[in-house]
Every structure is written in C-alpha cells, then in structure tokens.
Chains A and B, each alone.
Chain A
Amino acid sequence: MTPSSTDRAAQIAATRSLARTRWRVAAILTLLMVAVYFGFILLVAYQRALLGGLVSDGLSLGIVLGALVIVSAWALTLIYVQWANRVYDPALAALRAMPGADAAARGPQEAAR
C-alpha cells in the first residue's frame, strides 16, 4: 500500500503534536528539578541559620532538605517514566500504526545517514 498524501499529512500533524507534548512534559519536569535544586542552594547561601535549626535531635533542617533534593530527583524521574509508560509509549505505538508512518520514518533516516 502506498501512503496517500492525506495519510502523510495526518501522520505529520500527529507527530508534531506528540513531539510538542513530549517537549512540554520534559520542560516542566526540568524546571521543577531546577527549582528544587537552586532553591536548596539559595537557602544554603542566604538562610544559614534556618537550615542549621534542628528538626529533631541530631537532624538539622539542612540535612533533611539535602536528602529531600535526592528524593525529589528520584520522584521526578519516576513521574516521567510513569508518564512515558502510560501515555507516551501507547501514543508512539499509535503513531507507528498510522498509514504513512513507515515512509516518514524511513525516508529521512536514509537521507540523514
């Protein structure tokens, strides 16, 4: 079957929309990580006394927040992987199944190599 030009146009539109969604998710999660880490650094730089305060015996707020930076990095990667498994991968599969997807994926690949 040769893909018709309407198939091709629909495939391109779907690709663009999915690419945009992926970019948006990636950008939001990246900004969250930036906010968490630089928020921590700014607190370290400007709120020393606050971070030195004890949450419980032996545990300063600074140590808790430092550990939370690591935990939030884990959480954000988990959110992304969950999103990718539940939303992104099925959308990719649907895109691949569209008529015209093969030609679109194969053509530029040869050109680029």
Chain B
Amino acid sequence: MTLGTPDPVAIGFFAVFIAITLGITYWAARRTKTTDHFYAAGRSVTAGQNGFALAGDYMSAASFLGIAGLVSTSGFDGLIYSTGWLVGWPVVLFLIAEPLRNLGRYTFADVVASRLNPMPVRISATFGTLATIAFYLIAQMVGAGSLIRLLFGIPYETAVVIVGCVMMAYVLFGGMLATTWVQIVKAVLLLGGAATLAIMVLAKFGFDPRLLFAAAAAKYGAGVLAPGKLVSNPLDAISLGMALMFGTAGLPHILMRFYTVPDARTARRSVFIATGLIGLFYLMTFVLGFGAMVLVTPEAIKAMDAGGNMAAPMLAEMLGGRAFLGFIAAVAFATILAVVAGLALSGAAAISHDIWASVIRKGQPKPGEEIKVARIATVVLAIMAMGLGIAFKGQNVAFMVGLAFAIAASANFPALVLSVFWRRTTTAGAASSMIVGATSTLVLIALSPAVQVDLLHHATAFFPLKNPALVTIPLSFATGILVSLLRPDPASEARHEAIETRLLLGAD
C-alpha cells in the first residue's frame, strides 16, 4: 500500500483541481460586484447546475469515505446511514424549497422574519446558524486533516491550513458564484469517481450485485447482510434518523442555495435533480462498501485506519492502481474543500446580512458595506475553522456531523415551518423556538454519552441518547406553539395573508 506517503500522482490531481477552481474563482470574482452576486450568484443558476451544487454541498467526505468504511467493516448496518442521509431531501422539496425562494433573499432568517419583528428573529436565527456551522466545520476540518495526512502524507496542521486558505480564497473573491461552481465540479468528480469504482467492483462479480453480497456472506457469514449490533438501542437509531431527516431542511448552507436560482419553479426542479443524484450516490455506497469488504478485507482496512475511512481509497488502489488512488484521494480532498467553502459562505451571510445589515444597521446598511462585512466575516470564520481544526486534532469527530444535523433540525427547521405554515406564529414564538431548540440540543449533547463517556471518559452519561433530536425537535416545536398561543399577536397574524400570496407567487 502506498497510502500515507507523499504521492506525486495524487498531489498532481489535486493541484489540477486547485488550479481549475482558482481559475473559476478568478472568473467569478470579476462578476461578483453586488450583494446579490456575493450571496446568491446573481440568481442566475439553472436547475441542473443547482441540482449538482446541492448534491456537492451535501455529499461530504463523511458520506463518501465514512459510509463506505462503515459498510466494509460492519456490513448492513452501514446502510442505515446511506438511507438516512437521503430521506431529508424529499422533506426539503415538499416543505421548504419553494416557500424559501419566494419569501427570502439571502438567508433562511429572511423567511422567518418576513412577517415578524426582525430583530429578535434574526439574532436567534444567527445563533442556530452559527452553532450548526461550527459543529459541521469542526467535523470537516478534523476529517480533512487526518485524511490528507493518510492520503498524501502531509502533516495534519499543514493540511488544515491549506484547506482553510483555499476555502477562504474561493469565498472571499468568488462569493456564491465561485462556491457554486466549485460544488458542481466536485459533485461531477465525486459521482464520476464513485461510479467508476462501483463499476470496477461489479465487473469482478459479473455485474450482478447479488453475487457481490453472496461473496461477502460466504466470507464473513450471513450476518453481514442483516442488522447487527450498531443499532443496539432503537431510540438512538430513531433519534439519529430524526436529526438526519429534518436536519437537512435546516442546514444553512443548503437553504442558501435556493436563493441562487431565478424562481421557485427552478428551486423545485433543482431539488428533484439533487435527490436523484444523492440517491444514486448512496446506492453506489452499497456496492463500494461490500466491494471493499470482499476485496480489501475489513482487517486490512482497520489496520490502515481504525475508523474504516480508508476503505474506498484502498479499494481504488487495488482495482485501479496508483493513478486511480491518486484520483480518488484528490476527489476526497476536493470534497472537503467544497463543503467547507459552502459552510463559510452561509456563516458569513448570517453575520453580515442578519446581524450587521438587519440588526445593527436596522436594514439600512451603507452602500457596499454589507459585502465588506461578509468578507471580513469570511476571514474570521476561516481562521476560526483552522484553529478549531487544530484544537480538535485526534478527536473522534464522526458524530459531530450528526450533531450539526440535530442542531439544524431543532433550531432552524421548526421555526421555519411554523412561521411559513402556521398563521398564529408570533415573534416571541419563533425566536424562543430557535433559542430553546439550539440551547437544548447543545446542553443535551454536552450531557450525552458521546461527550461524557467517549470524550471525557466518565463511566455514565446524564442523558442516554447519543443524538438528542428525538427530544429537542418536539421540544422546539412545542415551545414555538405554546409561546405563540400564550401571547397572540394579531398584527403578525394579519400579515400572514400577504405572506400566503407571496409564498405562492413570489416577490417578482
């Protein structure tokens, strides 16, 4: 195995990717002049482009390397994740995409604030947004550092700094236009790489997945095709499932993508395309995971990386040689880079649009000021991401993406749904739902086995579930409904009529 040594082929592929994406950034920078360009790519993205960009934003290294690794080492149980990551997308399509495009401009807080008092709503929405992004960023940065060390033999800290700086260049200069095209390039590479690898695996088994599964069962027992010990606690599985299902509809960097298209109809079509692509990708992880189990063997995979993350790259080297390993390694790096850029942009938008322009400047920022603040926020977020990435070195952060989904599902999703679909939602109701959702999730995470037992090595945890979504999503909805009912606000209820018109017809 050549993994873990500086590999000229992999570094070459990666250099090509960086060169192309920086070229795109240069092209995008010359077109990025207004805030509409910076946050929303001038609303000029087509349904197909946005479908790929959504898929690119969503298919993180965790899903590519993590799920392939999980399936290869524990069989069927890994597939629970493959399905879970997809089922949030229909929810986005049915409940979120079109209303969001019609009611907002740059951030999801625009939608919640559209008929409520903007100040408390935007402050609480920023809290939820930044909490989601922080967890997601830490997971990606730590993942980036360890993967790049394994794949390229570059030191951990150097890898984190490279990711932070390149991401900063994309967002700072190219804004949403560059970020969108980076996602599209990455999505095409990732889908292409995974498909090639899946076809290579299937070719070994006469293009019949059943023969592949049968070979796995013959080698490691029929148990690999059945649910095993990963879901030992059904409540844990349901809680994680709820976080995945409703968290997708609350992820700030995903929601922001719906503002880059010209209208609600395009937003709808783009989610349809994204759902198709992402589903296809997760179906391929079935093949990649079992392929790695049979061809590479779990023992070899675990020897390389205890978390199993190297299953797909090892499979690539076995089937396609060093050059293909280099390609897959570069794709994995590009994947992390693109996801991190999308996260940073949505965090910068929350700070500059929701806090600076709407709260501090009361909706009247000086010309050109908002975009300047967004760029400063990008630099601050990038530095923070690098710092956190280095601080969390060596920690097992795989659970953090699940937690980011839990915060998004509990802080952002309930307030979004209530404010759009429930006439009686009040400012206090929406704001308290977001604050309670975010805070309760953070507190329960701190008390969960993931932190108390795994991280702090206590014998027991105060809260039994690894993922708190089962408690915090209902809690957030209940808070929003109760607070709204206790102190009704006839004025915002009356404004819902206007919202309904705009929800359907849009603003333009």
B455: CB under 8 A from chain A?
A: no
Contact B90 A76 (CB under 8 A): yes
Q: How far is the CB of A5 from chain B (nearest CB, A)?
A: 14
List residues 199-230 of chain B with CB under 8 A from any CB of chain A. 209-215, 217, 222-223, 225-228
Bound CA–CA A26/B91 (angstroms):
8
Bound CA–CA A113/B498 (angstroms):
13
Q: How far is the CB of A11 from chain B (nearest CB, A)?
A: 8
List residues 223-249 of chain B with CB under 8 A from any CB of chain A. 223, 225-228, 231, 234, 237-238, 241, 245
Q: Which residues of B contact A80 (CB under 8 A)?
A: 90, 93-94
| Residue in A42, A70, A73, A74 whose beta carbon sits within 8 Å of that of B234 in the complex | A42
Q: Give the size range of A's interface with the partner.
A: 35 or more
Contact A92 B505 (CB under 8 A): yes
Residue of A nearest to B105 (CB): A113
> What does DSSP make chain B's interface, helix, strand, loop or mixed?
helix
Bound CA–CA A54/B223 (angstroms):
11
Report A16-52 CB contacts with B as 1/0, cut-off 8 Å.
1011001101110110011011101110111011011
Residue of A nearest to B500 (CB): A19
Contact A57 B210 (CB under 8 A): yes
> How many A-B residue contacts, CB cutoff 8 Å?
176
Contact B499 A108 (CB under 8 A): yes
Q: Which residues of A contact B93 (CB under 8 A)?
A: 77, 80-81
Report B470-508 CB contacts with A as 1/0, cut-off 8 Å.
000000000000000000000000010111111111110
Assuming A15-B500, A29-B90, A66-B83, is B272 touching A34 (CB within 8 A)?
Answer: no
Contact A58 B279 (CB under 8 A): no
Bound CA–CA A49/B225 (angstroms):
11
Q: When A and B form their complex, which 10 residue pairs have the shortest distance between CB atoms, in order from nearest?
A: A52-B226, A58-B214, A108-B498, A45-B234, A60-B225, A58-B213, A58-B210, A26-B94, A69-B83, A109-B507
Residues in B lying within 8 Å of A, measured CB to CB: 76, 79-80, 82-84, 86-87, 89-91, 93-95, 105, 114-115, 209-215, 217, 222-223, 225-228, 231, 234, 237-238, 241, 245, 265, 268-269, 271-272, 275-276, 279, 282-283, 286, 421, 495, 497-507
7 contacts between A and B (CB under 8 A): A49-B226, A57-B210, A66-B286, A74-B279, A92-B504, A96-B505, A112-B498
